[in-house]
Amino acid sequence: MTEPLNRSGPAGSVARTRLHLLALPWLLAACSQLPDYQRPALPLPARWPGTGAGTGPAEPIRTGDWADYFNDARLKPLIEQALGNNRDLRATALRVEQARTQFQISRASQWPALNGVAGGSRGPVATAAGTVQANTYSVGLTVTAFELDFFGRVASLKEQALAQYLGSAQAYDSARLSLITSVATGWLTLLADEAQLALLRETLLNLEATLQLTRRAVARGTLAQQSLLQAESQTQAARAAAAQGELQRQRDENALQLLLGLPNAVPLHDSVDASTLDVAPWADLAPGLPSELLLRRPDIAQAEQALIAANANVGAARAALFPRISLTAGVSSLSPQLSGLFKSGSQGFTLTPQASLPLLDAGQNQAQVEAAKLGRDIATAQYEKTIQTAFREVADALAEREAAVQQLDASERQTAAGQAQLRLAQRSLEMGVSSRLDWLASERNWLNLKQQRVQAQLNRLQNQVSIYQVLGGHWRAGRDASNPA
């Protein structure tokens, strides 16, 4: 038979002490005013507009490095230069470091700060023989006004700082993703500018040849003066369009140079190959489920961290309604001589607990709690709005993809028809059935169709970049065998 524990004896006291020590963390945790964070329900439909009601892709959604997707040998160095030199991205990275140091400051406030103090003074001291001037020296260790966080105020502030730091890190990811896609879009635009400029120059040569033939025909009297004036007007319009194309190419190149952030800009159009537009360099992207992908977007993650910070702010405001307990303690050695500071009997210990409880503040603390709750409600609404905006962006990009595919297909068919028409005009010219003016008109029409095709190609490729961005840099694995993405 087991002998019952004598609760009044030494063993009972030790057991109670151990139980109290074990229960202390739970009691302190129960006093915390930090509300439990609950992620709001996603305000989203189950599928994208215009799609079936399936359950999404069977393959996993992959997060890969940007180089796995933008794998063109001429584009990758540009993105690398931008990531290393862009000033906006650099400033965002520094803000992340700033938020990290603020979190470290907040985290350090949970622990007591131990300070070493030393001092000396000379002043009057009352003795039996009267008042005399004497020296007093002291040295010791102190902990000043360390707050005992019974109600979670300091812990809530630390949670808030952590969320702000994580949110700034997500802001950096968002800025990085935006920079990558901006460089890709700028590079595609420069390719299209180069292709359009080549076609404009070719059109100008065509119109100049037409103008020469028209002048000869007018001089022979086979064409009216009106035809010459019309040819002259078309030629000058083409010359102006070519000059505008040169200007637009330079502007787009300057914009891309700004993104790259290089101190010494190197002309980019010298290395641009406009034929790259003829081959889509990237795989088509699959959107997956709305709830699956939108939570991976860095801007949504940043909005959620802002909501977590607002929730922690509620806890800090609530804790301000309860007593704030601080502790000042120190151990020191006091001696009239330096040599006696560390001798036996010269040491002392001080302990000064202090508690403050708000009694009359005209409702300021309660108003702070209400303001913090309203801030949390605002952050919730902003988080939900960010999700809905992201959903709309993906839905728009998917709709634009369908339109871009159809426009490109129609433009390619139209360009092929124009090329066939040009071949017929060439054959008629060789047989003497039609004039060279007719052939030049067919060539000019074909060049115009090729310009429209370049714009359709640009729209299609830029849409692929846009989808990559709105999906947060994620794509479906195994979509393209030639692409590791």
Neighbours of 236 (CB within 10 A): 13
Note whether 47 and 290 are within 8 A (CB).
yes
- CA 30/CA 27 separation, integer angstroms: 5
382: pLDDT strictly greater than 90: yes
Q: Quick: pLDDT tens for 439-454.
A: 888 888 989 999 999 9
Question: What architecture does CATH give domain 111-148+324-356?
Answer: Single Sheet (2.20)
User: In whole numbers, what is the pLDDT of the chain averaged over residues?
Assistant: 80
pLDDT at 113 (0 to 100): 77
Task: Choose between 414 and 18: higher pLDDT.
Answer: 414
Task: Choose between 346 and 366: higher pLDDT.
Answer: 366
pLDDT at 458 (0 to 100): 92
pLDDT at 63 (0 to 100): 54
pLDDT band, residue 158 (cuts 50/70/90): confident
pLDDT at 453 (0 to 100): 92
482: pLDDT strictly greater than 60: no
Tokens describing residue 108: 């350090």
pLDDT at 58 (0 to 100): 39
Q: Which amino acid is at 382?
A: Q
Domain boundaries, the chain: 70-110+149-322+357-476, 111-148+324-356
Predicted TM-score of the model (pTM): 0.78
pLDDT at 414 (0 to 100): 92
Note whether 289 and 295 are within 8 A (CB).
no
11: pLDDT strictly greater than 70: no
pLDDT at 19 (0 to 100): 47
**Do 70-110+149-322+357-476 and 111-148+324-356 have matching folds?**
no
145: pLDDT strictly greater than 70: yes
475: pLDDT strictly greater than 70: no
Region 342-367: mean pLDDT is: 75
Q: Does domain 70-110+149-322+357-476 have CATH number 1.20.1600.10?
A: yes
Neighbours of 364 (CB within 10 A): 10
pLDDT at 346 (0 to 100): 62
84: pLDDT strictly greater than 80: yes
Q: Which pairs with CB-CB distance under 8 Å and at least 24 residues apart come from 47-50?
A: 47/289, 47/290, 48/287, 48/290, 48/394, 48/395, 48/398, 49/395, 49/398, 49/399, 50/398, 50/399, 50/402
pLDDT band, residue 381 (cuts 50/70/90): very high
222: pLDDT strictly greater than 70: yes
Tokens describing residue 475: 């794509």
pLDDT at 351 (0 to 100): 72
Region 210-219: mean pLDDT is: 89
Among 128-142, 160-174, 338-352, the minimum mean pLDDT is found in: 338-352
66: pLDDT strictly greater than 90: no
Region 292-317: mean pLDDT is: 86
pLDDT at 240 (0 to 100): 95
- Contacts of residue 310, defined as CB under 8 A and 6 or more positions apart, other chains included, come to 372, 375, 376, 378, 379, 380
